[in-house]
Amino acid sequence: MREAAAAHRSHPLFHHDLERFTHLVYKAAALTLRHYETWKRERHRVDYVDMVDQALTLLDDEPIAQELSARLKLCVVDELQDSSPIQLALFLRLHRLAGRSYWVGDPKQCIFEYAGADPTLMDAVVGWARENGGGVTPLSVNHRTLPPLLDLTNTLFTAALASHGIAPDEVRVTPREGAPAEPAGPPLRIWYAAAGNKAGYARALAEGIARLLGEGERPLVYDRVTADKRPLRPGDVAVLVATNEEAHELADALARLGHRAAVARSGLLQTPEGVALGAALRYVLDEQDRLSVAELEALQGWDGLGPDAWLDRELAPPEEGRERTTPTWRHRLDALRDVAAIATPAELVEAAFVALDLPLLCARWPDPPQRLTNLDALRRFAGVYERRCAEQGEGASLAGLLRFLQGLQRTFYEDREAKQGDEQHAGSDDDAITLTTYHRAKGLEWPVVILSSLDKTARDREVFDVAPETEAHALDPEAPLAGRWIRYWPWPYGQSGDASLESNALASTAGTRLTERKRRERARLLYVGFTRPRDVLILATQLKNGAPQVSWLLELSDREGRPALVLPSPRRA
């Protein structure tokens, strides 16, 4: 039986089942896309892919092309490295219509391959520009990082990215004119946390941050506005993590030590302030909504009675000759009902905040800055809803706003302004430490940046993920979608593992190509992390059996495969 089971991968019925399953998956995807297209067409809606694809189709219409050609004089594209091939096709078409364009991008920061970005795109565009009479100007001045840290990143990534085909001159940058030549303090620190699991590492990292901010004389940093040295503040510190789960775990560990953290948390509409707004709007819409009244009574403190006494009072028959006292907030919300038909949803949201004294309540609840930031997010979502109604030619209403807010809890809208779903927005102030993922940190900067999750490794069975493939040796900017297709290999063993199948898949041509692509992307993600700090970089590593767990840093190696960065032994540190 064992011998027969071990030979199952060569059995023709096993191959037949996998082949049939794969074809069914593609057929299901095609059927779903066709139905999705019908659904959007019937409702006159488009998603982000449609916005690009249909714009590209419109440009094939000669009258539209002539109109745009007469109006467009310059096309400017930023963050080109994050573009997908179909976006590149659109940019090229716009360039031909405008006759003149500037494209800005950095291939070292291409970290969104999962969203369709292609790191070969920049090379293709550079070659295309030179062949068509354009020029390429390197942006070789760094306006963020101080010289000592800049020397580190120049040296480290010049060696590490050489194996990616990126020339040293494309990596090395110089500091801005007038940048302080000397740091305010040690520009590089290494933290070793002896922890056996993720929870222990989060606690150790939180304790390290607490010590950093609790030192008698806090480290000095340069103030960006005055350019003078000043003591470090919590808002100057950012911790980069691999996942949102790690950010939340670290936020909880910091909170236990009395430090606030600015981190995007899920469930904006499940927070007390989100629940209060939803209940207030539902009560304005329907005065018989007793659940909303109960929710608002709870958030207002049960009228000072406590939940049990309040419930007894509500269930008891009214005493003869005595009217029950109505709280002030109910009078205010009742008054809103008279104007609900003529007020905009955004105006009703603002009026509900006033009726409930919600900013004052938020100031009394734990973590007031985060809650006040959440109120701003709720205001913004009302504006997003109104703009969406205007774009679709629909009337904005209170009932429609409630449906929109409920939808935020169920899904992620494609709307750029609502793409975070109902995540709480991370407030940023001088008293809050920023916790964010490496991907979200792109384009931002802080005086002090702590790089964590340095033990991150490649995910298991990545080769069995859905992935774009191409048979072309290089991306053709004139036909960026040519020769591209979607590869999918089903993993046949559910939650179980089969090391031999995975190793065979990784050793295949497609597997080798994928492994190298992922390795390079992880190196570029480290580049983004290393270039976020202005004054101080801290590498926070986890120790196991006395050895630092830095498998992610091993992605930084020279052409001979030697590590570009070797940390000192914690015993000698």
What percent of the chain lies above the pLDDT cut of 70?
90
Q: Residues, the chain, total?
A: 573
Q: CATH 3.40.50.300 in the chain, residues? A: 147-264+428-459+512-555
Positive/negative CA dihedral, 179, 184, 186, 190: negative
User: Has residue 34 got a pLDDT over 90?
Assistant: yes
User: What kind of fold does domain 147-264+428-459+512-555 have according to CATH?
Assistant: Rossmann fold (3.40.50)
User: Has residue 415 got a pLDDT over 50?
Assistant: no
User: Has residue 395 got a pLDDT over 80?
Assistant: yes
| Among the listed residues 188, 211, 205, 242, the one whose alpha carbon sits nearest the alpha carbon of residue 542 | 205
- Which band of pLDDT confidence, cut at 50, 70 and 90, is reported for residue 28? very high
What percent of the chain lies above the pLDDT cut of 90?
18
3-class SS at 450? Answer: strand
Q: Which residue has the higher pLDDT, 540 or 296?
A: 540
Cβ burial 268-302 (10 Å sphere, 16+ → b, else e): bbebbbbbbbbbbbbbbbeeeeeebbbbbbebbeb
- What pLDDT digit, counting tens, does each position of 163-191 carry? 888 888 888 999 888 778 777 778 899 99
Return all residues near 539 (Cβ < 8 A) that are at least 6 apart: 188, 189, 190, 191, 451, 454, 550, 567
String of DSSP letters for 119-177: THHHHHHHHHHHHTT-------EESSS-HHHHHHHHHHHHHHTGGGT--HHHH--EEPT
User: Has residue 358 got a pLDDT over 80?
Assistant: yes
Least confident of 95-104, 163-172, 325-334: 325-334
H helix count then E strand count, the chain: 21, 15
Give the C-alpha separation, 130 to 153, whole Å.
Answer: 29
**What value does the mean pLDDT take over residues 31-50?**
90
Q: Tell me if 556 sits within 8 A of 563, measured CB to CB.
A: yes
Q: Tell me if 121 sits within 8 A of 85, measured CB to CB.
A: yes
Give the C-alpha separation, 327 to 293, whole Å.
Answer: 11
Tally Cβ neighbours within 10 Å of residue 452: 26
Residue spans of beta strands (DSSP E) within 355-505? 432-437, 446-451, 467-470, 484-487
User: Has residue 324 got a pLDDT over 60?
Assistant: no
Tokens of 26: 């593609």
3-class SS at 220? Answer: strand
pLDDT score at 265:
52
DSSP run (H or E) holding 194? strand 188-194
Cα 251 to Cα 238, 263, 487, 547: the distances in Å are 12, 7, 39, 26
- Which band of pLDDT confidence, cut at 50, 70 and 90, is reported for residue 132? confident
**What value does the mean pLDDT take over residues 206-214?**
90
pLDDT score at 58:
92
Mean residue pLDDT of the chain comes to: 83
Q: Which residue has the higher pLDDT, 358 or 23?
A: 23
User: Has residue 30 got a pLDDT over 90?
Assistant: yes
Q: Tell me if 526 sits within 8 A of 176, measured CB to CB.
A: no
Q: CATH 1.10.486 in the chain, residues? A: 268-316+326-418
pLDDT score at 146:
87
Give the C-alpha separation, 63 to 52, whole Å.
Answer: 19
Least confident of 35-49, 117-131, 152-166: 117-131
Q: What is the pTM of this model?
A: 0.72
**What value does the mean pLDDT take over residues 70-90?**
89
pLDDT score at 412:
31
Least confident of 50-54, 382-386, 495-499: 495-499
pLDDT score at 414:
30
pLDDT score at 457:
82
Alpha carbons within 13 angstroms on the beta-carbon side of residue 284 total: 30
pLDDT score at 450:
95
- Which band of pLDDT confidence, cut at 50, 70 and 90, is reported for residue 333? confident
**What value does the mean pLDDT take over residues 510-522?**
86
User: Has residue 110 got a pLDDT over 90?
Assistant: no
Tally Cβ neighbours within 10 Å of residue 334: 14
**What value does the mean pLDDT take over residues 103-132?**
81
- What pLDDT digit, counting tens, does each position of 11-24 carry? 899 999 999 999 99
pLDDT score at 410:
39
pLDDT score at 217:
67
Strand bridging mode 174-175 / 188-194: unpaired
Place of tokens 């290494």: 190
User: Has residue 451 got a pLDDT over 90?
Assistant: yes
Q: Which residue has the higher pLDDT, 491 or 297?
A: 491
**What value does the mean pLDDT take over residues 51-64?**
90
pLDDT score at 271:
81
**What value does the mean pLDDT take over residues 223-229?**
81
- What pLDDT digit, counting tens, does each position of 472-502 carry? 666 676 777 778 888 899 998 887 777 788 8
pLDDT score at 239:
94
User: Has residue 511 got a pLDDT over 50?
Assistant: yes
pLDDT score at 417:
35
- What pLDDT digit, counting tens, does each position of 134-161 carry? 888 888 888 888 888 899 999 999 988 8
The CATH number of 268-316+326-418, from 3.40.50, 3.10.290, 1.10.486, 1.10.10, is: 1.10.486
